[in-house]
């Protein structure tokens, strides 16, 4: 039987749950206690829904990584995690472990790259991963062995979702964001290229490399070629890394019912 791995984008889940509790409880201690309770409730529902053979909660451990070194503005405008919540993450990890869900984090790598490495490595060996996150960046990983579930919207962020939202295939998203940039992450793309123009260029050329290698035929194409370095830098920033040394084996992530 193929491995079924449930990958929780832990901070994506926890920060949204905590934000709700901030509106319902006045005292930070009560907010944290309620966050822990609803987190365990949410993971319990996810385990019951997907019945995975293996499960892991992936956390951000590195405050900065290679993307920050390449581009100091990377995620610079993101609101910081509330201090009380940051100080409580260790307890949340222990609570998840008591539920049978181990945590994975790295001193040097972003959680997104850990998720990508787990999912793609397992897919190459015939396994299947379900990533739980609202982060659209994971849509670039979509494949027969990798799917993405939005717990809060209770919906699949699948190939049909990508086609409806972006008018492209999942494999074209990295090049799409290289052209448009990702404002929420502080990543600048090609000046003057918005979603519609990026979509049209990728419909015409298929991918960024072909676009850059083709003779200039339009104002937009010439613009991209003029700003080639910006596009390639943006692509390096948005593309998830999938070859990290994880220091964990699959057996450690087995879920025991």
Q: 144-185 pLDDT, tens per residue?
A: 999 999 999 999 999 999 999 999 999 999 999 999 999 999
Report d(CA 116, CA 138) in Å as an integer.
8
Q: Which residue has the higher pLDDT, 6 or 214?
A: 6
Q: Which residue has the higher pLDDT, 5 or 61?
A: 5
CATH number assigned to the domain comprising residue 47: 3.40.50.1010
Residues 156 and 208 placed together within one structural domain of the fold: no
Residues 152 and 171 placed together within one structural domain of the fold: no
**Which range of residues forms the domain containing residue 18?**
4-161+244-253
Residues 119 and 36 placed together within one structural domain of the fold: yes
Residues 68 and 28 placed together within one structural domain of the fold: yes
pLDDT-above-90 percentage for the chain: 92
Residues 207 and 233 placed together within one structural domain of the fold: yes
Q: Strands 4-9 and 128-132: what pairing? A: parallel
pLDDT tens track for 130-154 = 999 999 999 999 999 999 999 999 9
pLDDT tens track for 227-248 = 999 999 999 999 999 999 998 9
Report d(CA 43, CA 50) in Å as an integer.
11
What letter would DSSP give residue 140? G
- Beta bridge partner(s), residue 148: 131
Q: Of 75, 46, 175, whose CA–CA distance to 135 is shortest?
A: 75
Instruction: Determine the Cα angle at 68 with ends 64 and 74, to 5°.
Output: 115
- pLDDT level of residue 34 (50, 70, 90 thresholds): very high
Residues 249 and 213 placed together within one structural domain of the fold: no
Report d(CA 111, CA 75) in Å as an integer.
14
Residues 37 and 131 placed together within one structural domain of the fold: yes
What average pLDDT does the segment 97-126 reach?
Answer: 96
Mean pLDDT of the chain: 96
Other CB atoms within 10 A of residue 141 CB: 23
Residues 6+ apart with CB under 8 A from 257: none
Mapped onto helix, strand or coil, the DSSP state of residue 193 is coil
Report d(CA 127, CA 195) in Å as an integer.
34
Return the pLDDT at 141.
Answer: 99
Total count of domains within the chain: 2
Residues 39 and 154 placed together within one structural domain of the fold: yes
Return the pLDDT at 65.
Answer: 86
**């676009």: which residue's tokens?**
211
Residues 84 and 26 placed together within one structural domain of the fold: yes
Q: Strands 146-150 and 128-132: what pairing? A: parallel
Residues 128 and 183 placed together within one structural domain of the fold: no
CB neighbour class for 131 (10 Å; exposed up to 12, middle 13-18, buried from 19): buried
Residues 155 and 215 placed together within one structural domain of the fold: no
pLDDT tens track for 56-74 = 999 998 677 899 999 999 9
What letter would DSSP give residue 241? P
| Token duo for residue 226 | 């003029």
CATH number assigned to the domain comprising residue 179: 1.10.150.20
| Token duo for residue 250 | 């699959």
Q: Of 142, 160, 156, whose CA–CA distance to 49 is shortest?
A: 156
What average pLDDT does the segment 182-201 reach?
Answer: 96
Report d(CA 91, CA 81) in Å as an integer.
16
Report d(CA 183, CA 185) in Å as an integer.
5
Residues 150 and 171 placed together within one structural domain of the fold: no
What is the model's pTM? 0.96
Residues 6+ apart with CB under 8 A from 177: 187, 189, 234, 235, 238
Phi and psi at residue 51, to the nearest 5°? 45, 55
């Amino acid at each position: 039987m193929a491995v079924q791995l449930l990958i929780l984008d832990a901070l994506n889940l926890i920060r949204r749950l905590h934000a709700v509790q901030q509106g319902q409880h006045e005292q930070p201690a009560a907010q944290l206690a309620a966050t822990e309770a609803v987190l365990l409730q949410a993971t319990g529902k996810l385990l019951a829904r997907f019945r995975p053979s293996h499960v892991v909660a992936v956390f951000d451990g590195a405050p900065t990584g290679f993307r920050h070194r390449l581009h100091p503005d990377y995620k610079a405008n993101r609101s910081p995690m509330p201090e009380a919540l940051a100080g409580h993450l260790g307890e949340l990890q222990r609570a998840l472990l008591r539920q049978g869900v181990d945590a994975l984090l790295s001193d040097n790598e972003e959680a997104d790259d850990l998720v990508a490495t787990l999912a793609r490595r397992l897919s190459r060996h015939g396994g299947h991963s379900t990533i739980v996150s609202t982060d659209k960046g994971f849509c670039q990983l979509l494949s027969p062995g990798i799917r993405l579930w939005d717990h809060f919207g209770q919906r699949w962020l699948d190939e049909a979702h990508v086609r409806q939202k972006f008018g492209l295939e999942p494999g074209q998203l990295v090049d799409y964001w290289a052209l448009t940039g990702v404002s929420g992450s502080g990543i600048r793309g090609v000046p003057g290229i918005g979603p519609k123009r990026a979509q049209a260029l990728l419909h015409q050329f298929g991918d960024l490399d072909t676009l850059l290698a083709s003779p200039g035929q339009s104002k937009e194409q010439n613009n991209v070629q003029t700003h080639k370095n910006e596009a390639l830098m943006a692509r390096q920033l948005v593309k998830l890394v999938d070859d990290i040394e994880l220091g964990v084996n699959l057996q450690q992530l087995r879920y025991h019912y």
